[in-house]
Amino acid sequence: MSEYVSQNGIQIAPLLFDFINDRVLPGTGVDQDQFWSGFADLLGQFAPRNAELLAKREKLQSQIDDWHQANNGKPIDQAAYQAFLKEIGYLVDEPAPFAITTENVDPEIATMAGPQLVVPSLNDRFVLNAANARWGSLYDAFYGTDALDAASAQPGGYDPVRGAAVIKAAKAFLDETFPLTSGSWNDYRGGVPALAAPAQFAGRNGDSLLLKHNGLHVEVVINANHPIGKDDPAHIADVLMEAALTTVIDMEDSVAAVDAEDKVLAYTNWLGLMRGDLAAKFMKGGKEAERRANPDRNYVDQDGNSFTLPGRSLMFVRNVGHLMTNPAVLLSDGSEAPEGLLDGVFTSLIAMHDLQGLGDLRNSKTGSIYIVKPKMHGPEECTLTNDLFDAVEDLLGLARNTIKVGVMDEERRTSANLAACIHAVKDRIVFINTGFLDRTGDEIHTSMQGGAMVAKADMKSSDWIQSYEARNVAIGLACGMSGKAQIGKGMWAAPDMMADMMEQKIGHPMTGANTAWVPSPTAATLHAIHYHRLDVFARQKEVAGEGIPALDKLLTIPLAEGHNWSADEIERELDNNAQGILGYVVRWVDQGIGCSKVPDIHDVGLMEDRATLRISSQHMANWMLHGVCSAEQVDAALLRMAAKVDGQNAGDPLYRPMADDPKASLAFQAARDLVFKGVEQPSGYTEPLLHAYRLKLKAAG
Ligand SMILES: CC(=O)SCCNC(=O)CCNC(=O)[C@H](O)C(C)(C)COP(=O)(O)OP(=O)(O)OC[C@H]1O[C@@H](n2cnc3c(N)ncnc32)[C@H](O)[C@@H]1OP(=O)(O)O
Ligand SMILES: O=CC(=O)O
Ligand SMILES: [Mg+2]
């Protein structure tokens, strides 16, 4: 890397310094000199606090490790365990009942219920697709996935037999959601449809019909000149679903951003989204394509009045958590700056382009900046975020609480003290979300010394996770989040299993969650159907009456307790974990790709990100620590799976095989370290090793 720019006692990578000065600050009214001097002060103030809280994490972890070692082999006495957690300050007192007081929140978050899409920020083609995923074609979603229960499409262009099944399924959705006074949408022949609930008719866009149900719009596209519409008796060409109400532009677990070069790319895409001028050019189907953010959509209501609906998803940006540092900025002592502080300042500054309307399109209509903060451990760390956002607002001249926060409930200390965490950010909180993937990783790591954990697939049915999901909703409702903020559920991590998603993911709104994560625009379009099937806000009223489950189950550790696995079961568990780890890490370290679809041992492509990697690596480390398997067995699994992953990637010209010479592969070494050094990784996180190996690879050119 070139020399740093020295400024107010800190050092800034020139790429970042120039990007901020040339592309971000102009037009915002924030003075360049004042900005850098205020930024240096902010780092000086917050970096030591950040370090103290990380040291506290380590201290608590070592106290918990000691407790388990002292209780070695004995069944856990829940009362004694909780008393111990209170004594060390892991569990804190509950705050007195309170309600959040967040203001100026966009309706997509506060009063609407629908899917939330997550997208890696480094990929401009994907982020634009995500922004545009506010509306999705139901015909395409049915045609292209197994959500449609019909024979697969015949190769060689449009298959009319499958097409007919798609149209039938889409019209069945219309019948279910927008019933006609008599008959079916199959019999609709044009004009204003005779809806059983006429208020569902919201307007027209040319010939197309706009309908509304449970707060979500659906456009029935009428076009006699369209290849599908021309053969339909009513010229219906598609059914467009209002789908991803909100999107998380992810700078955390789905990206590999290790230095100024990567960070500036992520910030550039966020700037393009906040201004509305991001464009991506790429090759698709042998042709060059260009993608931009869609404009808003124009309609006319029944009285002839024009109105628009948002054309894009409302965007959050996920900053990194408190753990990592980044060489993009060095502190006065020459150490790397905490990356979460950089993200907090820079993503907020960039969002001022939206607040001030400096670009072509707007994100928030209520003047808010939406930041998702991941991986916070307990209320003190939430207070740090709150104070940081206060300081950023002061630095940028923004009104107090302009910056809103989404709190990921994905670490055990946060789940166990959730009301206190919400209280710490009560004037700016706009969501809680159960990030069950990281949360599972933290469940394993926290009790690493307690014994061998159940098999990975059995985690989902453990007491702790059921309690975690239920408590999150119940506490969110008790803190007055309904109608003001999102109570969100986690990711559907099997992007190709849409039939299963349609069957299972209605469980998320059923719990009272008004949003849940999906991995792709297609999944958003399909998951939107669930919010038509169920009125979440009515459901929240029912759930609110059920009370908050006690802590006991949440704190029941998923130990296998004497379970004897067969040699075959152990090998399959190790192989499955090793395959996921290697398949993901090889693309992360070698190619800088932070989210991948990796086949599991059943050949189901699973979304892998740093959180799923945390689970797999912690699980292997745990079984090795407690002698369920030996180090030799782990090495054998890694080697076997390296060959398998090499085979799976044979078609990728950028791929560097691992199996022939594993010692020469930085990716293989990283994967191995993640398991063999898993016990000592902070909270079991994978970022420190991934970053170190990726930086090594970049340095080697
Ligand atoms: C625990 C957590 O933190 S979860 C949060 C982190 N996870 C994520 O962000 C998941 C994001 N999703 C993804 O990256 C991808 O969907 C993957 C890697 C899971 C699967 O990818 P694939 O199925 O191989 O998708 P593929 O690369 O074939 O893309 C197919 C199309 O879908 C689009 N697409 C896929 N995922 C997304 C997404 N999340 N947002 C926007 N568009 C997407 C692509 O743009 C592409 O369309 P295009 O050709 O018109 O551009
Ligand atoms: O960030 C989400 C998770 O599940 O972890
Ligand atoms: Mg997570």
Taking alpha carbons only, the member of 329, 429, 307 closest to residue 376 is 429
Q: Does the pLDDT at position 572 exceed 90?
A: yes
Give the separation between CA 80 and CA 393, rounded to whole angstroms. Answer: 44
Query: What is the sign of the dihedral through the CA atoms of 127, 130, 134 and 138?
Result: positive
Nearest atom of ligand 2 to the alpha carbon of 491: 4
Mean pLDDT of the chain: 97
Residue in the structure block whose two tokens are 């199996």: 659
**Confidence (pLDDT) at 73:** 76
Residue in the structure block whose two tokens are 């994978």: 686
Number of Cβ within a 10 Å radius of residue 633: 17
**Confidence (pLDDT) at 1:** 46
pLDDT tens column, 152-198: 999 999 999 999 999 999 999 999 999 999 999 999 999 999 999 99
CA angle 445, 449, 452 (to 5 degrees): 85
pLDDT tens column, 349-363: 999 999 999 999 999
Q: Does the pLDDT at position 497 exceed 70?
A: yes
What's the one-letter identity of residue 696?
Answer: K
Residue in the structure block whose two tokens are 């991506």: 280
Residues, CB within 5 angstroms of ligand 3 (ion):
410, 435, 438, 611
Active site (catalytic) residues: 318, 609
The response to whether 435 counts as a known ligand-binding position is yes
pLDDT tens column, 507-554: 999 999 999 999 999 999 999 999 999 999 999 999 998 999 999 999
**Confidence (pLDDT) at 323:** 98
**Confidence (pLDDT) at 351:** 98
Q: Domains for the chain: give ranges and CATH numbers.
A: 86-133+245-295+309-554 (3.20.20.360), 137-242 (2.170.170.11), 567-699 (1.20.1220.12)
Take residue 253 and report the two structure tokens written for it.
Answer: 């677990």
Residue in the structure block whose two tokens are 């298959």: 159
Nearest atom of ligand 1 to the alpha carbon of 252: 3
Nearest atom of ligand 1 to the alpha carbon of 612: 1
Residue in the structure block whose two tokens are 């969501």: 431
Whether the CB of 436 sits within 6 Å of ligand 2: yes
Pocket of ligand 1 (CB under 6 A): 117-120, 125-126, 129-130, 250, 253-254, 284, 435, 437, 491, 495, 519-521, 595-597, 607, 609, 611
pLDDT tens column, 86-145: 999 999 999 999 999 999 999 999 999 999 999 999 999 999 999 999 999 999 999 999
**Confidence (pLDDT) at 85:** 98
**Confidence (pLDDT) at 701:** 85
Q: Are 516 and 527 in contact (CB under 8 A)?
A: yes
Pocket test for ligand 1, best of 287, 520, 686 (most atoms within 8 A of CB): 520
pLDDT tens column, 370-391: 999 999 999 999 999 999 999 9
Taking alpha carbons only, the member of 240, 359, 364, 251 closest to residue 313 is 364
Average pLDDT of the segment spanning 439-464: 97
Q: Are 326 and 240 in contact (CB under 8 A)?
A: no
Pocket test for ligand 2, best of 407, 410, 614 (most atoms within 8 A of CB): 410
Under DSSP, the state recorded for 376 is -
Closest C-alpha to ligand 2, atom 3: 435
Q: Are 450 and 124 in contact (CB under 8 A)?
A: no
Q: Are 130 and 272 in contact (CB under 8 A)?
A: no
Q: Are 305 and 319 in contact (CB under 8 A)?
A: no
CA angle 329, 333, 337 (to 5 degrees): 30
Give the separation between CA 367 and CA 657, rounded to whole angstroms. Answer: 49
Q: Are 232 and 104 in contact (CB under 8 A)?
A: no
Q: Judging by DSSP bridges, how do beta strands 486-489 and 429-434 pair with one another?
A: parallel
Q: Does the pLDDT at position 665 exceed 60?
A: yes
Give the separation between CA 279 and CA 361, rounded to whole angstroms. Answer: 13
Whether the CB of 490 sits within 6 Å of ligand 2: yes
- Using a cut of 0.95, tell me whether the model's pTM lies above it: yes
**Confidence (pLDDT) at 459:** 96
Closest C-alpha to ligand 2, atom 1: 435
pLDDT tens column, 590-633: 999 999 999 998 999 999 999 999 999 999 999 999 999 999 99
Q: Are 85 and 91 in contact (CB under 8 A)?
A: yes
Which helix (H) or strand (E) segment is 372 a member of? strand 369-373
Whether the CB of 245 sits within 6 Å of ligand 2: no
In order, the DSSP letters of 80-108 are HHHHHHHHTTSS-PPPPS------S--HH
Closest C-alpha to ligand 1, atom 46: 126
Q: Are 219 and 210 in contact (CB under 8 A)?
A: yes
